[in-house]
Amino acid sequence: MYGWAGDQFDISDLLKPDRGDKNVNIEELVYYVRTQAGWLNVDFRVGGTIDVLRSFLAGGYPVIVEKGFTLDPTDGGGGWAGHYLLLTGFDDAEGVFLTQDSNKGPDRKVSYAELDEGWQAFNRVFLYLYLPEAQPEIDRLLGEDADPDRNRERALEAARLEIERDAEDAFAWFNLGTNLVYFERYGEAAAAYDTALGIGLPWRFTRYQFGPYIAYFHQGRFEELIELADYTLFRTQKAEESSLWRGWARYRLGDLYGAIEDFRAALAVNPYYQDALYALDFVGASP
């Protein structure tokens, strides 16, 4: 589609060359398109709705969403995990999206309710690709959300409303923190993340989302950052983002050798990880 003939393995060769790495974040997908398919425009928004997804699909624009789902017990021990879905159609009569799922197969129907329930865990993020000449149509489909700052404001308010409805909704608290990080309101974000973690999140959760590391780092909560990264890496050793942020926390605590060890560990998982290369250069160490 759009003149690109590759597959998921072409993407993973660059974004996660180690098949033991179980996560590619949305920004990495954007990076791939912009560097490997530069004739296309690509972007993402958060706080999406079922109606927005339907509007994009009706306009002929497939969208990718990231959502939570439950693995089969024979797949990595089962339990909650994150997953991308490509949406290619919808049927209002049945109340379903037509999805292309690398885990469960092509042309799978997913109800609007099921998708939204899993989608909440990832701040209802959605990614869309389009040819440059379609920009006016994309802006029309996005409405207010065409402005990234306004999009985050709306997502922030949506998270607050969900918390008002259920103060024990850990995903809503986490989304609140993530949207506050966007606005560099790190103290408020850290408090929101504290609440989410205190309520309880699936054990794989910090494999996929790293906002607490950013908030804790900017609040000088380095020991707690290390504790959270230790927990993540104990469960998932090949999580380069956790190694990176643990390294920065160690650096700020004066543990230069520990920081270098972590930065190199991140690079061992993904040799193309630019943040780890920058970190090593910053502290004057070689890869």
Same domain (yes/no): 256, 212: yes
Give the pLDDT confidence score for residue 72 in this predicted structure: 76
- pLDDT, tens digit (0-9, with 9 covering 90-100), for 148-202: 999 999 999 999 999 999 999 999 999 999 999 999 999 999 999 999 999 999 9
Give the pLDDT confidence score for residue 13 in this predicted structure: 82
Task: Kindly state whether residue 1 falls inside one of the protein's structural domains.
Answer: no
Neighbours of 77 (CB within 10 A): 9
Task: Kindly state whether residue 169 falls inside one of the protein's structural domains.
Answer: yes
Query: For position 241, which CATH number holds?
Result: 1.25.40.10
Same domain (yes/no): 24, 123: yes
Task: Kindly state whether residue 35 falls inside one of the protein's structural domains.
Answer: yes
Task: Kindly state whether residue 180 falls inside one of the protein's structural domains.
Answer: yes
Task: Kindly state whether residue 287 falls inside one of the protein's structural domains.
Answer: no
Same domain (yes/no): 78, 178: no
Report how far residue 48's alpha carbon sits from residue 287's, in angstroms, rounded to the nearest whole number. Answer: 39
- pLDDT, tens digit (0-9, with 9 covering 90-100), for 224-248: 999 999 999 998 889 999 999 999 9
Query: For position 20, which CATH number holds?
Result: 3.90.70.10
More confident residue, 276 or 73: 276
Residue 104 has pLDDT above 90, yes or no: no
Burial of residue 48 (CB within 10 Å: 0-12, 13-18, 19+) is: buried
% pLDDT > 70, the chain:
98
Report how far residue 45's alpha carbon sits from residue 60's, in angstroms, rounded to the nearest whole number. Answer: 18
Same domain (yes/no): 182, 244: yes
DSSP E strands in 33-121: the ranges are 41-45, 63-71, 79-91, 96-101, 105-111
Same domain (yes/no): 140, 222: no
Could you list the residue range(s) of the whole structural domain that residue 158 is in? 152-282
Same domain (yes/no): 170, 103: no
Report how far residue 125's alpha carbon sits from residue 116's, in angstroms, rounded to the nearest whole number. Answer: 11
Domain boundary among 144, 179, 212: 144
Same domain (yes/no): 138, 24: yes
Give the pLDDT confidence score for residue 235 in this predicted structure: 86
% pLDDT > 90, the chain:
82
Local confidence band at 78 (pLDDT 50, 70, 90 cut-offs) = confident
Give the pLDDT confidence score for residue 117 in this predicted structure: 96
Same domain (yes/no): 140, 193: no
Same domain (yes/no): 212, 127: no
Domain boundary among 95, 124, 144: 144
Same domain (yes/no): 135, 157: no
Same domain (yes/no): 188, 138: no
Average pLDDT rounded to a whole number, residues 131-148: 98
Task: Kindly state whether residue 2 falls inside one of the protein's structural domains.
Answer: no
Burial of residue 88 (CB within 10 Å: 0-12, 13-18, 19+) is: middle
* CB of 22 closer than 8 Å to CB of 207: yes
Residue 18 has pLDDT above 80, yes or no: no
Same domain (yes/no): 85, 210: no
| 3-state helix/strand/coil string of 98-143 | EEEECCCEEEEEEEHHHHHHHHHHHCCCEEEEECHHHHHHHHHHHH
Number of domains in the chain: 2
Task: Kindly state whether residue 3 falls inside one of the protein's structural domains.
Answer: no
Residue 4 has pLDDT above 90, yes or no: no
Residue 147 has pLDDT above 90, yes or no: yes
- pLDDT, tens digit (0-9, with 9 covering 90-100), for 57-74: 999 999 999 999 888 776
Residue 1 has pLDDT above 80, yes or no: no
Domain boundary among 144, 170, 197: 144
Task: Kindly state whether residue 98 falls inside one of the protein's structural domains.
Answer: yes
